[in-house]
Amino acid sequence: QVQLQESGPGLVKPSETLSLTCTVSGGSISSYYWSWIRQPPGKGLEWIGYIYYSGSTNYNPSLKSRVTISVDTSKNQFSLKLSSVTAADTAVYYCARDDLYCTNGVCYRAFDIWGQGTMVTVSS
Amino acid sequence: EIVLTQSPGTLSLSPGERATLSCRASQSVSSSYLAWYQQKPGQAPRLLIYGASSRATGIPDRFSGSGSGTDFTLTISRLEPEDFAVYYCQQYGSSTGTFGQGTKVEIK
C-alpha cells in the first residue's frame, strides 16, 4: 500500500528557509494531488498547499508569499520550502495524498493517506 | 476563505453512548468536498468520512456523516474505547483547503 514519509531538518533558525521532502512508496506519485499540512503544538490543522504530479500548485493565501511546493516524479517525491520562518512556524508538518476522484458525474476530494509527520522547531 | 466552526469544543461521554459532532461553514460548501478526520495523540489524522457521508476504507459503520450546505454532522452511534480522540472537519473550496478547529471526544 502507498506510504508517505517526511524528511528534513528538525531545527531551523529564524529568518531561514524550512525545507522538507515527502517520499512516496508503494505507489506512483503520478495522477494524484499531494498536499502539505501542519499542526502547531497543541493546536489544530492548517492546510499549506498542494501540488499536482504535473507541477501545478495552489497555496493557502495566508502563506502564499513564503511557500513553494515542487515535485520530482523521477524520485517519487515532493517537497516544501517555507521562507523567512519565525517561531510561529514551529509545528508538526505532514504530507498527505490529496485524492481527487470523480465518479458518476460527482467529484470527491479528501486527504486519504498521511505521513507520520515531522516536528520542525524554529529557534536560534 | 470559508471558515469551519466545530462544536462543541469538547464532548464528555461514556463508552456506549452516542456522539454528535457539528461542523458549520461560513458559506455553503460542496458536500462532495467535505471530509472528517480522527486524530489520536502522537498520530497523524485518519480519514473517516469523505463526500460528507461516505465512509473511507476500513472505517466501522458506527461512524456516519450527514449534512449539506453549511451544516454538517459526524455521528458515532456507540462509542468504543478507541474512539476517544480529536475530530476535524475539512473542506475544499475554490481549490483551497480549510479545517475546523476540532472537537475533542473525551471519556466522562
Percent of chain B at pLDDT > 90 equals 94
Burial class (CB within 10 angstroms; exposed 0-12, middle 13-18, buried 19+) of B72: buried
| B102 vs B94, more confident | B102
* Average pLDDT for B42-57: 96
Interface membership of A19 toward B (CB under 8 Å): no
Which one of A45, A63, A102, A103 would you mutate to disrupt binding with B, by most B Cβ within 10 Å of its Cβ?
A45
Tell me the pLDDT tens digit for each residue of A18-64.
999 999 999 999 989 999 999 999 999 999 999 999 999 999 999 99
Mean pLDDT of B36-55: 97
Question: Do you know the residue count of chain A?
Answer: 124
Has residue B94 got a pLDDT over 80?
no
State CA B48 to chain mean position distance: 8
Name the DSSP class of B83. G
| Interface residue of B31, B99, B101 to substitute, partner A, most A CBs within 10 Å | B99
The label of the residue with cell 471558515 reads B3
pLDDT, chain B, mean: 96
How does residue B1 score in pLDDT terms, banded at 50, 70 and 90? confident
Look up residue A115 and give its three cell numbers: 505521513
Compute the average pLDDT of residues B80-87: 98
pLDDT at B12: 98
